């Protein structure tokens, strides 16, 4: 068998995370993107703070400051970022439905964790859907009705018994 030396594997992992703006992988199918640090550093000048905002992060602020941040993050096109063009379009200020990103992030994490729990503990979860919905509502800080609606929407997109099927990414 062929084994990649640890330092080579680690370097390749760092390059992949950097390329796709990931802080780490919580699991094989659960990437965690870079998040802003607000405020990141205090400066020696009173009243001035430095912030770290990744270019993949949507900017919600309007006005001069919001436009300046948007222009700074995505104002020029770098050849090494072309693979992120579609994402930059989604999070750009010109895309008015960008406020749905948080909701879609919740869908992704909900279906991921819901599927994992059912894959590993299906027998134990048969009579516990209400408790599981309550736990997810608490975890995501939304109502139980919101989680139920999210699960209906996910089920409508992925079909019945979606949680019992293996994750498509794990079959690759």
In tens, the pLDDT along 92-132 reads: 777 766 667 778 888 888 998 898 888 888 888 878 889 99
Kindly give the parts of the chain with pLDDT less than 70.
Answer: 1-5, 61, 75-79, 96-99, 167-172
> Closest Cα to residue 110, out of 145, 77, 140?
140
pLDDT of residue 66: 78
Q: How many CA atoms lie within 13 A of 152 on its CB side?
A: 6
Residue with tokens 């550093």: 41
Q: Which helix (H) or strand (E) holds 135?
A: helix 129-140
pLDDT of residue 131: 92
pLDDT of residue 170: 59
Helix (H, G, I), strand (E, B) or coil at 120: helix
Distance, in Å, from the CA atom of 21 to the CA atom of 10, rounded to the nearest integer, reads: 16
pLDDT of residue 90: 79
Distance, in Å, from the CA atom of 136 to the CA atom of 58, rounded to the nearest integer, reads: 25
73 and 57 in contact (C-beta within 8 Å)?
yes
Q: Which helix (H) or strand (E) holds 25?
A: strand 22-27
pLDDT of residue 134: 95
pLDDT of residue 9: 79
| Whether the predicted model's global pTM rises above the 0.95 cut | no
């Amino acid at each position: 068998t062929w084994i990649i030396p640890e330092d080579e594997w680690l370097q390749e992992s760092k390059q992949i995370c950097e390329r796709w703006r990931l802080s780490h992988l919580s699991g094989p199918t659960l990437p965690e993107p870079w998040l802003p640090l607000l405020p990141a550093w205090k400066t020696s000048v009173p009243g001035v703070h430095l912030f770290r905002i990744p270019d993949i992060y949507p900017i919600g602020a309007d006005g001069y400051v919001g436009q300046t941040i948007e222009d700074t993050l995505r104002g020029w096109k770098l050849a090494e970022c072309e693979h992120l063009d579609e994402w930059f379009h989604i999070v750009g200020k010109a895309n008015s439905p960008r406020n749905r990103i948080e909701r879609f992030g919740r869908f992704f994490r909900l279906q991921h964790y819901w599927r994992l729990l059912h894959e590993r503990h299906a027998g134990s979860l048969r009579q516990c859907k209400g408790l599981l919905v309550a736990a997810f509502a608490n975890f995501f800080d939304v109502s139980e009705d919101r989680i139920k609606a999210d699960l209906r929407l996910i089920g409508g997109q992925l079909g019945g018994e979606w949680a019992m099927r293996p994750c498509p990414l794990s079959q690759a």
